[in-house]
Structure 1
Amino acid sequence: MKFVAVTSCPTGIAHTYMAAEALEQAGKAAGHTVTVETQGAAGSTPLDPQVIADADGVIYAADLEVKDRERFAGKPSVDVGVKKAVHDAAGVIAQAVAAVESGVVAAAPAATPGAAPATKVDPNASVATRVRQWLMTGVSYMIPFVAAGGILIALGFMVAAFAWPGDEGVVAVTGVPLADLLANFNVMSGQDWAVLLFQTGAVAFGFLVPVLSGFIAYGIADRPGLVPGFVGGAISVAVGAGFLGGLVTGFLAGFLALWISRWRVPKGVRGVMPVVVTPLLSSAVVGFVMIVLIGQPIASAMEGLTSWLNGLSGANLVLMGALLGAMMGFDLGGPINKVAYTFAVTGLATEGLAADAVQYQIMAAVMAAGMVAPLAMAFATTIRKNLFTHAEQENGKAAWLLGLSFISEGAIPFAAADPWRVIVSSVVGSSVTGALVMAVGSGLRAPHGGIWVLPLISNPWAFVGCVAVGMVVSGLLVVALKSARPSPLVQAEHEADAAAEGSPALVARTA
């Protein structure tokens, strides 16, 4: 059979492309052809209309709303989450085959503009699941702003370290007004370039809370939630409520906009409801609630959290690093991993941080711990190939680059095939790395990048050493666990290889 597929995940980075590869390989193994359109962070190349026309069925492996879904109308389809395609691609292919054979065709979907923001919240899911999906919608749109802004700020500090004498750079680069830069920018001045990078990054980073709030509201109420969500997030920043305030305004704006948009109004008013009435009323209410009622209490809570973090030292920091590391290694890009990562990146948005602030150490610990699992699997497949299937050995080669780039999802194929041994090993090694990074005091102002932002990390070689220790600990542990009880899949592959080579012992035993 011929299938077309669409894959997408909330961040559009790792799972999107891993699911595409898994479906293509599983389809080929089952004797089918699967052509995939990846709707990821890098954009997407639409499938050829003729390929769609020739397809027997459609596979949606997506955690976001599929763009231009109406293209596939009239064809049998299956709709699963992107992780299902990564973990059980063969099962998804089997579902698609069954859908084609049954001949059941879903109703044609309504046309959806390809440029619309994407989200996917299951209205039939439990309350807890929907809350997580709303949060992930906000986080997925926030991360690119955080990554771009954080790296630009860090680059500005790095250039400032060379442009100003001694330790003046970090302080000086933050004290130059944007108006002075506009009036006197000199392309030959390192100081001006440092300020330019810092100011650009600061502007990008300033969108963190409004984007988080706006797209949480969008996930709840669709487009009517965008305006009050962004307004509430901006007010949260203005009153000092920060990240916590953004979470509150996101949910408040979303539910308020959803309620107003469902009002039964005369026909003559319906046309202005989404353009004027809903954004006007919801923004006014969100503004009142934040400025008058809850903004200051949340700001006080944020100040208390910042003071508590800055007061941590010694064993307490190490324990926090171990906990955050364990969370990063537990579900490899899943909700728990994202909680730890979001906690770290929102700490970077705290205003007035000192150069050696604990928030930078937390970010370094989280990124280092997130690199461990894929590197450990790559290391294990290198030192003990016979404990892994041929597919895992190939995945191990790719995991080197994924791990170095801080893409924890590179270990997912291993965890899907052998969950408890891989996850236990990942948690132990990542926890060790998180604790070590806190102990050595490495700091990081950039929220992403892995080894490629090494120049932006304080105490960089200690950071690399911490990652290497965690990699070795996880790698040796997974080897030990797999050696104690080899995988039946691996044993079956070895026997098949031996039979193909004409092994006398295997032939005799088989006979």
Structure 2
Amino acid sequence: MRIKDLLKEQCIELNADKNINTKENVIGRLLELMNNSGNIEDIEEYKKGVLQREEHCSTGIGGGIAIPHAKNKAVKTATLSAMVIPEGVDYDALDGEPSKLFFMIAAPEGGGDIHLQVLARLSTILMDEDFKDKLISAKSKKEFLSIIDEKETEKFPEEAKEEKNSSKGGYRVLAVTACPTGIAHTFMAAENLEQKGKKLGISIKVETNGADGAKNVLTKEEIEAAEGIIVAADKNVEMDRFDGKKVIITKVSDGIHKGEELINRAISGDVPIYHSSNKSKESENAEEKEGIGRSIYKHLMNGVSHMLPFVIGGGILIALAFLLDDYSINPANFGKNTPVAAYLLTIGQQAFGLMLPVLAGYIGMSIADRPGLAVGFIGGMVAKMGITFANPAGGDINAGFLGALLAGFIGGYVVLGLKKLFSKLPNAIAGIKPILIYPVLGILIVAIVTTFINPFMGMINTGLTGFLNNMNGSSKILLGIIVAGMQSTDMGGPINKTSYVFATSQLASGNYEIMAAVMAGGMIPPLAIALCTTFFKNRFTEKERKSGVVNYVLGLSFISEGAIPFAAQDPLRVIPACVAGSAVAGGLSMFFGCTLRAPHGGIFVLPLIGNPFGYLISLVIGAIVGCIVLAFLKKPLAVTE
């Protein structure tokens, strides 16, 4: 943490006014300079912290120097202000001499011990009398900063070398963002982190693990040179490359909402070191803080994110087969009456049929790394085939989504157990573990366990499927209201994903109405906000109205995250309005009997939706309801722009 990074010209005053002749005047002027940084949310609150520190003991350290400081909740990011009073002021210094050179340190409450680090650095370099005299005699703010930079470079040469390397293409902070679907949260978190980095003057590079793969990938050289790394992800990302580095592991929503806090923490040094193997106590504690529930959620979302392309691609091809086929040729063979339809249906069914093994395989891989992939995949196949000890060929039962999900977790933890069991093998034969021991024993064990639980999973799946298929009238509409309303509660968060995963799971059982209701619910938040910013402009700022236009595209594309900035600023009004609109759209979708075979696509798959006209009506009415409720809840701005 270099002084020049924390001290800006607007926070410096040389040859201060002679009227600043008391300790109180000095603190007051330093506070004014500090406020120029824009990094203090409440200057009066910060002032209390400074004065409390002075009551404890004067920060006039002697030798003509005073360094008042405070770690305070009013501080957004670490900042310095500085002032020179050549004639000196009685600051109650420890040596009783007047103070001429002043530095004030502001540190955020959650910023670790950054204020102590800066205090120690200032105290060290100010021990040099020539350096101190040069600062007091500086003719300009630029010269003042240049003198500090020169001294820091001399005193901390290794740090200067690292900064030089960084200027050649390195970054102080690196980040990786990833969400289960890899569509919206991933890029929103990346954009926020980049914006906050620019605001703080801290160089940052963000790698996005989106639906189309990793972009802006971090290089080995960049990782080696970085001070800290942020991994904001709701699914597993490649972590071995960060071995030995200070890494913050958090959820992707923190990247969207807490970017500044994460960056400040990354450069503070108060971050545990990540170890990819033989974990240190620090990294183990970091995982414990994440919690079992959070860990399970990440493993599940890792499986779901890899499964979705198979479901979406296969589902749309199946829907296209029915759309292009001729029902009148042979109703009993609908979907395969024409060569084109038969081809599309066959390919779609093969892709769709892999959803459960892929789900289980990537859950297993998320838990146990690469050795867990094959074990989880076979567990998912055993669940999909419905194999039992009574019928090894399978086909009698349908363990479905729940069976495959459980098989994935079983497979992953079986491999972890095998890793521990065979961890003491001699190095000479350790190479056989990933190519022989893990796949053979892992596949056998997961197959036996999954075969054992298949009948129970089959009963649960059959019961749930039967219950949903028998729902009609008001009960079916109520289900649509609930699952669609859940889409708007946290817009891409755990509740939203619970609804989405439930709907996706029902695709494998042939319940297509739930998916249609869920997609309708997810499309409403951005559409409702877009409509409201268009027809009730006096409720929004100019910036919000411009963002509202973009939400038309996001809503039609089934990207509910477009509503997040609005919900974050005004959750008590925006979220209830969006939930109301989504619930209406979901209920109407169920009422009209709309169906959807693919879990994504938005308006672009409308021709493939069962009863597309009814679905369009559901969307329009839901968006209007959300818009009206939001307009009712939000008051017009005092002055429209």
Interval of TM-score (by shorter of Structure 1 and Structure 2) = 0.7 to 0.9
- Structure 1: segments with no counterpart, 5+ residues: 112-120, 177-190, 354-358, 498-511
Choose which of 26, 37, 48 in structure 1 pairs with 2:196.
26
Structure 1 distance, partners of 2:200, 2:219, is 23
Instruction: Give the structure 1 partner of residue 537 of structure 2.
Output: 385
Instruction: Give the structure 2 partner of residue 114 of structure 1.
Output: none
User: How do residues 170-319 of structure 1 correspond to structure 2 at under 5 angstroms?
Assistant: 171-173=333-335, 191-239=338-386, 240-264=398-422, 265-267=424-426, 268-291=428-451, 293-319=452-478
Instruction: Give the superposition deviation at 1:286.
Output: 2.1
Greater share of helix residues, 1 or 2?
Answer: 1
Instruction: Give the superposition deviation at 1:458.
Output: 2.0
Q: Which digits, 9 at most, give the CA deviation of each residue in 1:470-510, with x for residues without a partner?
A: 111112212222218x6xxxx7xx69x7xxxxxxxxxxxxx
Amino acid at match of 1:220: I
TM-score where L is the length of structure 2: 0.64
Q: Verify the 8 A CA contact 2:539 2:635 in the aligned structure 1.
A: yes
Structure 2 distance, partners of 1:294, 1:49, is 45
Structure 2 distance, partners of 1:225, 1:67, is 15
Instruction: Give the superposition deviation at 1:284.
Output: 1.2
Instruction: Give the superposition deviation at 1:71.
Output: 7.8
Structure 2 distance, partners of 1:84, 1:200, is 40
Q: Which digits, 9 at most, give the CA deviation of each residue in 1:435-489, with x for residues without a partner?
A: 11111111222221000001101221221111111111112212222218x6xxx
Cα 1:388/1:77, change in 2 over 3 Å = farther
Stretch of structure 1 that moved more, 401-410 or 417-426: 417-426
Structure 1 distance, partners of 2:631, 2:207, is 36
Amino acid at match of 1:340: S
Q: Verify the 8 A CA contact 1:224 1:258 in the aligned structure 2.
A: no
Instruction: Give the structure 1 partner of residue 499 of structure 2.
Output: 340
For the residue of structure 2 that corresponds to 1:17, the secondary structure is helix
User: How do residues 80-99 of structure 1 correspond to structure 2 at under 5 angstroms?
Assistant: 80-96=250-266, 99=267
Instruction: Give the structure 1 partner of residue 183 of structure 2.
Output: 13
For the residue of structure 2 that corresponds to 1:443, the secondary structure is coil
Q: Verify the 8 A CA contact 1:374 1:411 in the aligned structure 2.
A: yes
Q: Verify the 8 A CA contact 1:261 1:274 in the aligned structure 2.
A: no
Amino acid at match of 2:291: S
Instruction: Give the structure 2 partner of residue 126 of structure 1.
Output: 291
Structure 2 distance, partners of 1:49, 1:257, is 29
* Residue 466 in structure 1 maps to residue 618 in structure 2: yes
Q: Verify the 8 A CA contact 1:395 1:413 in the aligned structure 2.
A: no
Cα 1:284/1:333, change in 2 over 3 Å = same
For the residue of structure 1 that corresponds to 2:210, the secondary structure is coil
Structure 2 distance, partners of 1:51, 1:279, is 35
Instruction: Give the structure 2 partner of residue 46 of structure 1.
Output: 217
Choose which of 56, 59, 63 in structure 1 pairs with 2:234.
63
User: How do residues 108-127 of structure 1 correspond to structure 2 at under 5 angstroms?
Assistant: 122-127=287-292
Instruction: Give the structure 2 partner of residue 153 of structure 1.
Output: 318
Choose which of 118, 122, 139 in structure 1 pairs with 2:304.
139
Amino acid at match of 1:335: P
For the residue of structure 2 that corresponds to 1:270, the secondary structure is coil
Q: Which digits, 9 at most, give the CA deviation of each residue in 1:259-303, with x for residues without a partner?
A: 111114431542212221122122112222333x22223223222
Instruction: Give the superposition deviation at 1:46.
Output: 2.8
Instruction: Give the structure 2 partner of residue 397 of structure 1.
Output: 549
Cα 1:167/1:244, change in 2 over 3 Å = farther
Stretch of structure 1 that moved more, 33-42 or 406-415: 33-42
Superposed CA RMSD = 3.0
Amino acid at match of 2:628: L
Instruction: Give the structure 2 partner of residue 418 of structure 1.
Output: 570
Structure 1 distance, partners of 2:437, 2:243, is 36
Cα 1:391/1:39, change in 2 over 3 Å = farther
Instruction: Give the superposition deviation at 1:6.
Output: 3.0
Q: Which digits, 9 at most, give the CA deviation of each residue in 1:193-252, with x for residues without a partner?
A: 111111111111111111111122222222232222111110111112111211221122
Amino acid at match of 2:334: A
Structure 2 distance, partners of 1:109, 1:284, is 31
Choose which of 575, 580, 585 in structure 2 pairs with 1:428.
580
- Structure 2: segments with no counterpart, 5+ residues: 6-170, 278-285, 387-397
Structure 2 distance, partners of 1:335, 1:107, is 28
Amino acid at match of 2:371: P
Structure 1 distance, partners of 2:239, 2:248, is 16
* Residue 166 in structure 1 maps to residue 328 in structure 2: yes
Instruction: Give the superposition deviation at 1:4.
Output: 4.6
Q: Verify the 8 A CA contact 1:155 1:194 in the aligned structure 2.
A: yes
Aligned positions, number: 449
Cα 1:140/1:30, change in 2 over 3 Å = same
